[in-house]
Structure 1
Amino acid sequence: MTKEMDIKNDRHYTASEIQVLTGLEPVRKRPGMYIGSTGPKGLHHLVYEVVDNGIDEALAGICDTIKVVLYEDNSISVEDNGSGIPVETHPQTGKSTVETVLTILHAGGKFDGSAYKVSGGLHGVGISVVNALSEWLEVKVRRNNKEYMQKFERGIAVSELEVIGTSTSTGTTVTFKPDSEIFETIEISSDTLKNRFREMAFLNKGVKIIIEDKRSGKEKEFYYEGGIKSFVEYINKNKNPIQKDIIYFETQKDGAVVEFAMQYTDGYSENIFTFANNINTIEGGTHLSGLRTALTRVMNDYGRKYNILKEKDENLSGDDVREGLTGILSVKLGEPQFEGQTKTKLGNSEMRGIVESSTYEYLNNFLEENPKLAKTILDKSIGSQRARNAARKARELTRRKSILDNTTLPGKLADCQSNDINITEIYLVEGDSAGGSAKQGRSREFQAILPLRGKILNVEKARLDRILNSDEIKIMITAFGAGIGTEFDIEKLRYGKIIIMTDADVDGAHIRTLLLTFFFRYMRELIDNGHIYVAQPPLYKITKARKEHYVYSDEQLDELLNEIGRTGYSIQRYKGLGEMNPEQLWDTTMDPDSRILLRVNTEDAVAADEIFTTLMGDKVQPRREFIQENSKFVKNLDI
């Protein structure tokens, strides 16, 4: 880390640099305003807030190890070897700085820009919110050759800061138990934390993050000396790179750090993930715009210079040059501005030019020095361009009128009467038999039915031109009305809910995975905006004394049999939707008042990409390992 990015100095991080902005009282009254929700997402956000403090110390070059421990009573401890929270009396509050930081909202060393030049936690809400939403919290500080401790309950100090011993090291340990009065559940998922900590370790090379789960006895360490180069390697581990080495650069410009790593694969999907001060900028922003502009410009300039692109050839588009590209862009800047619906879009206008000029300059030199690889990349981009032109012609065939008027096409749409996207929904149904029952049992006012014949094309192994020649995919694109790929426009979507309804067997699961892969790769906004659902048809029908009961899991079956008695009943195991008549299908799976729908989301895009690559990609061994590792979670397997 350069001097420009360094903390001033451990000795200068003192009480006077802790700035107090407001009080803590509103947090317990409206926790959702501060952590987003009181569900699992908000619960895990508490842990990230505390870990972020250690990462901020790491960005300043004074912390290299963070350890998180999950205890059996659902408490959590986070320990770092940074400088330790200052312990002196705060000039504004008259309390110790430790107590000030933990009991007053936005009291921290990050807000006036003097102590920390770069902070990931700026996007967060501070450790005081963690304190306010915890049943109890205990903080230990190692500083000044002493160890200090203070205890809190629901945000209120219940002890004074006191010296409890000596210490030859520095750092902070925060142990807290989330408040069950606030959260729907206080059980932390170690898998959720691991995904986030892996990402943080990639983004901060040389920082070690350890998670120990006392509940399971397992411990995992994340440490990547290669930083985001290792991140790209991780994402591409089950793919086929067309280049051996990862292209990488790190540079400083106008007070900001730009770090970029990239590698091309023989696949067709673009996977560029962007971060600003360690925050995953899911919605992109100015840094991503600068990167994309530079990539497109440098490839076209090189192609023209060396006559790889002929005079009569059109320029490569951004989609062409990013086909099969995996990239990680990480920027660090002093005053990040976050915008967008979820505050995950970088808005700093200066970052567009900084990233664009840095990327163009480096890649231009790289291509000049590596002509063979440059030719390989350009050839792949030109192949993408040809496929894009073919896809444009194929796309014309997906216009709604021409397709829906053609009754010979497979998968005939039974549309609904309403045009109100707030109530309309379309069921993607496996096979004509189930499709027939669904058409008869539905509410014609707001429910459309689209039967799919067989398994759709595996889009993980196909370019867009081939995808658009698939009849089943064409009819879906037309029915949804919003286009595909870069032309996708969610404003034109005709249905508020797109519901996958398949049989509860192996074939049904495969069709579901194929559809989800298609949506993730080519209609990602449908998932991000909560439009994709999976229907949950019942597994069993139990009849006793002419009364029918439907259950959706083996656990529910057990409960029902205990309730109605385990004699004098008959049981039917549903293997396919076609076994249900229209009334049964409506009552169990399609009636909004009684059905069960699972909404599909991808909070972790990297993990989702890994799963789809593993399940639907070319490599057999990773798929075999995935199945072996996850087979224990499978229920109701029908083979």
Structure 2
Amino acid sequence: MADLNNIQYDENSIRSLDWKEHIRLRPGMYIGKLGDGASVDDGIYVLVKEIVDNSIDEHMMGNGKTIEIKISEHRVEVRDYGRGIPLGKVIDCVSKINTGGKYDSGAFQKSVGLNGVGTKAVNALSNYFKVQSYRDGKTKWAEFAQGELMQESSEETASGRNGTFIAFEPDNLIFKNFKYIPQYLDSMIWNYCYLNAGLTINFNGQKYFSQNGLLDLLRDKTDVDTIRYPIIHLKGDDIELAMTHSNQYGEEYYSFVNGQYTTQGGTHLAAFRESVVRVIREHFGKDYAPEDVRSSIVAAIAIRVQEPIFESQTKTKLGSNTISPDPTSQTVRTFINDFVKANLDNYLHMHPESRDAIKKRIEQSERERKELAGIKKLANERAKKANLHNKKLRDCRQHLTDAKNDDRFETTLFITEGDSASGSITKSRNVQTQAVFSLRGKPLNCFGLTKKVVYENEEFNLLQHALDIENGIENLRFNRIVIATDADVDGMHIRLLIMTFFLQFFPDLVRNGHLYILETPLFRVRNKKETIYCYSEEEKKAAVQKLGNKPEITRFKGLGEISPEEFGTFIGENMHLEPIILQKEMSIQKLLTYFMGKNSPDRQKFIIDNLKIEKNIEDLVAIS
């Protein structure tokens, strides 16, 4: 072992990194976690957002009503029709840290970002990056590779409308095996439109447009048959909100600051949740429990503040306590509370039908909570005892709630069925960030049941405690919940039953992108020199063709058949995860009724139409 006391420490030990070296060395500081695109918060989506945010800021300033976006698997192009970057600063704005127009609060009063880093991070983390500005009949462009200027034009005459064009291709050395998932992009672009009523975004040939802002957002996120009263939509200076109550469990929020979707909430969301309870209590003159007032609420809130302070570069949680840097300005809490108090109270006085519906929903939640109280106490005592010797949970050492831990976003809970499958994963997992919860068989079909079953069913109750989501997902212990079952009929059925549990009782886990399916190889193709794992019939054919001379082909029929040594390669850096994504127009109740309700001719026809019969391995002819 080296003698640490004798290591030389002098001027030569001190090194200064230039801007692009630092971004490439520590990308997580600028764009959060890297990932391959399977998670909605992976870095490749942050790259898109950083560029589009600049175009949105231009629109907010009254410059440009249309944004053109094209995204393929590995390339992004964004063209706005704002003022265009001043031609003499085109290169500086994308390659000099802390350079931008947003430092002048007169030009960008309430923009998304003020640190001058975002576009530079995209540039540094891209294999190819191009910026082109059109301004008053002239244009200038520059091209970069990994932040290095490769070539630039002089100012040229151009006929294009004023605005800025950015194209980039994320660096595949940093974002390994990445691909953009269309549903995540679709959701991102709709949010931009909801928050900027009247803005048109043309994305891959499709037009996105919202006339009514957050009202449209909630209309798209709720089912008219399940909400208890018409959506309340209130707007004021620098604040907009929409809310209703439904029949689902939990609370569902969509919160935004200066057009930024704050998935982790922050001071504005905390203030809104608090204000709704206070106003409802005062309006009805009753000391309702906060959880009864907010149970089944579906709401969206958007505010605009000067120079917002976010808790990270990815801007997913607001940390600002005041609505402007002026020390005499209102706090975020007071600003939101005053607006909700005046406007929501007035609304309820003017709409007695909605007022009565809210009262009934609160009283229903109160009854349900009291009915559950006894069984919750017994179930939680049982769970506490089980947690001391919980054979179902093989926990890991780090968790999502470890705020200072850089690896917390990698924390994963695998839900498996049977001893053999859970044994393979347990032996091959990363004990720092990967935990395993083992089912003893097929879980109960909980469709149509009340939350009482979560406490009566020991397995569900232990799973709820393993995740720490009894009172919502704020204390969720794992960033990814991965269903790991065999790729056969029984395994598919178990997947559906687990998904039903989460959708029925904890839908916000799914909406916030925490639920996944583990994909494991269907085939192993090998000869004496090389082994190739294949996730589809097409990959298997390609592997057979590559190895030639009749290689050995193994069909994996269950997770328990895969050795722990092999399994370790499937849940490591190149793990294949399929996210469970709820489409914008998808109603959870209708979805569950279709797949998990009483047998229906429609479902039977769907299964028959989509049934695939796989040939036996022995019948397949190797391609030489």
Normalization by structure 2: what TM-score? 0.74
Partner of 1:345: 317
**Distance 1:404-1:620 versus aligned 2 partners, 3 A rule:** closer
Residue 36, structure 1, aligned to residue 32, structure 2: yes
Which runs of 5 or more structure 2 residues have no equivalent in the other structure?
1-17, 322-330, 400-409, 616-624
Equivalent-residue separation in structure 1 for 2:451 and 2:393 (angstroms): 29
Distance 1:415 1:421, change over 3 A: farther
Q: Secondary structure at the match of 1:468?
A: helix
1:249 paired with 2:234, answer yes
Counterpart CA distance in 2 for 1:194 and 1:629 is: 26
Tell me how far apart the structure 2 counterparts of residues 247 and 424 of structure 1 sit (CA, whole Å): 38
Deviation at 1:52, TM superposition (A): 1.3
- The partner residue of 1:615 within 591, 594, 605 is 591
Hey, what's the Cα distance between the residues in 1 that align with 2:313 and 2:532?
Answer: 43
Q: Which amino acid aligns with 1:476?
A: L
How has the CA–CA distance of structure 1 residues 203 and 142 changed in structure 2, closer, same or farther, with 3 Å as cutoff? same
SS class of match (2:220): helix
2:345 is matched with 364
- Counterparts of 2:115 and 2:492, CA distance in 1: 39
The answer for the alignment partner of 2:59 in structure 1 is 58
User: Does 2:468 correspond to 1:474?
Assistant: no
**1:232 deviation in Å?**
0.6
**Pairs within 5 Å for 1:78-89:** 78-87=78-87
User: 1:361 and 1:506, CA in 2 relative to 1: closer, same or farther beyond 3 A?
Assistant: farther
In the alignment, is residue 102 of structure 1 matched against residue 94 of structure 2?
A: yes
Flag the 1:633–1:566 CA change in 2: closer, same or farther, 3 A. Answer: farther
Name the residue aligned to 2:371. Answer: 390
Q: Aligned residue for 1:554? A: 537
- Give SS of 2:379's match: coil
**What is the deviation of 1:355?**
1.0
Partner letter of residue 227 of structure 1?
G
- How far the C-alpha of 1:522 sits from its partner, in A, is 5.7
Is residue 2:108 matched to residue 1:116? yes
1:118-137 equivalences under 5 Å are 118-122=110-114, 125-137=117-129
Structure 2 residue aligned with 1:164: 157
Distance in structure 1 (CA, Å) of the matches to 2:577 and 2:178: 23
Report the RMSD for the aligned CA atoms in angstroms.
4.9
**Aligned match of 1:327:** 299
Shift, 1:343, TM fit: 4.4
Residue 270 of structure 1 and its aligned partner are, at CA, apart by 1.9
| SS of the residue 1:476 aligns to | helix
Match of 1:76 in 2: 76
- Quick check: 1:488–1:523 contact (8 Å CA) kept in 2? no
Deviation at 1:616, TM superposition (A): 2.3
CA distance in 1 between partners of 2:601 and 2:51 (Å) = 37
User: Please, which of 481, 502, 506 is the counterpart of residue 485 of structure 2?
Assistant: 502
Seen in structure 2, the aligned counterparts of structure 1 residues 347 and 270 have a Cα distance that, compared at 3 Å, is: same
Q: Distance in 2 between matches of 1:259 and 1:615?
A: 30
Could you tell me how far 1:614 is from its partner in structure 2? 5.4
Q: 1:357 to 1:300 in 2, by over 3 A?
A: same
Q: Distance in 2 between matches of 1:456 and 1:121?
A: 47
- Alignment partner, residue 45 of structure 1: 46
Match of 2:140 in 1: 149
Tell me: CA distance 1:325–1:124, structure 2 relative to 1, closer, same or farther (3 Å): farther
Q: Are residues 452 and 317 of structure 1, via their aligned partners in 2, closer, same or farther at CA, if it must alter by over 3 Å?
A: farther
Q: Does 1:414 align with 2:385?
A: no
3-state DSSP of counterpart to 1:345? coil
CA apart distance, 1:172? 2.1
C-alpha separation in 2, matches of 1:108 and 1:628: 58
Q: Could you tell me which of 431, 436, 446 is aligned with 1:458? A: 446
The letter for the 2-side match of 1:303 is F
The 5-angstrom pairing of residues 517-536 of structure 1 reads: 517-519=500-502
Q: Distance in 2 between matches of 1:619 and 1:472?
A: 22
1:523-571 Cα offsets, whole Å, 9 max, x none, are: 68988999977555664689999xx999654345445655787879796
2:364 aligns to what SS in structure 1? Answer: helix
Q: CA deviation at 1:265?
A: 2.1
Over 3 Å counting, the alpha-carbon distance change for 1:133 and 1:61 in structure 2 is same
Pick from 196, 199, 208 the counterpart of residue 222 of structure 1.
Answer: 208
Report the residue type matching 2:138 in the other structure: E
For residues 46 and 603 of structure 2, the distance between their equivalents in structure 1, rounded to whole angstroms, comes to 28
Q: Which amino acid aligns with 1:159?
A: E
The amino acid of 1:327's aligned partner reads A
**SS of the residue aligned with 2:111?**
coil
What TM-score do the two structures reach when normalised by structure 1?
0.72
Q: Distance in 1 between matches of 2:425 and 2:44?
A: 41
Letter paired with 2:491: G
Q: Which residue of 2 aligns with 1:316?
A: 288
CA distance in 1 between counterparts of 2:514 and 2:125 reads 32
Q: 1:382 to 1:615 in 2, by over 3 A?
A: same
Shift of 1:136: 4.4
- Report the residue type matching 2:85 in the other structure: I
Q: What's 2:622 paired with?
A: none
Q: Is the 8 A contact 1:238 1:613 kept in 2?
A: no
Change in Cα spacing, 1:526 to 1:372, as seen in structure 2 (3 Å) is closer
Output one character per residue of 1:225-254: Cα deviation in whole Å (capped at 9) or x when no partner: 1111111111114762222x32111112xx
1:371-421 CA distance string (max 9 Å, x none): 12211111111101111122221111213548968xxxxxx9635798956
Rounded to whole Å, the distance in 1 between the matches of 2:288 and 2:256 is 26
Distance in 2 of aligned mates of 1:238 and 1:637:
41
* Unmatched runs of 5 consecutive residues or more in structure 1: 1-21, 88-95, 213-218, 310-314, 406-411
Which of 256, 260, 274 aligns to 1:279? It is 260
Give the letter for the 1:57 counterpart: E
Cα distance 1:403–1:554, how it changes in 2: closer, same or farther (>3 A)? farther
Tell me the distance in 2 between the aligned counterparts of 1:550 and 1:54.
Answer: 43
Please state whether the residue corresponding to 1:110 is helix, strand or coil.
helix
Amino acid aligned to 1:266: N
Q: CA deviation at 1:367?
A: 0.8
C-alpha deviation, 1:509, in angstroms? 2.6
Change (3 A) 1:539 1:610: same
CA distance in 2, matches of 1:437, 1:83: 58
Shift of 1:115: 1.0
One-letter identity of the residue aligned with 1:249: L
Q: CA deviation at 1:210?
A: 0.7
**Matched residue of 1:68: which SS?**
strand
**Deviation, structure 1 residue 108:** 1.0
The amino acid across from 2:79 in the alignment is E
Q: 1:199 maps to what in 2? A: 191
1:185: Cα distance to partner?
5.2
- In the alignment, the residues of structure 1 paired with residue 532 and residue 26 of structure 2 have an alpha-carbon distance, to the nearest angstrom, of 41
Cα distance change of structure 1 residues 457 and 488 upon mapping to structure 2, 3 Å threshold: farther
The 1:65/1:76 distance shift into structure 2, 3 A limit, reads same
What residue identity is the alignment partner of 1:246? Answer: I
Aligned-residue identity in percent: 25
Question: AA paired with 1:149?
Answer: K
Tell me how far 1:303 sits from its aligned partner: 2.5
Is 1:413–1:449's contact at 8 Å kept on the other side of the alignment?
A: no
* Aligned residue type for 2:391: A
SS state at 1:458 partner? coil
Further displaced range: 179-188 or 319-328: 179-188
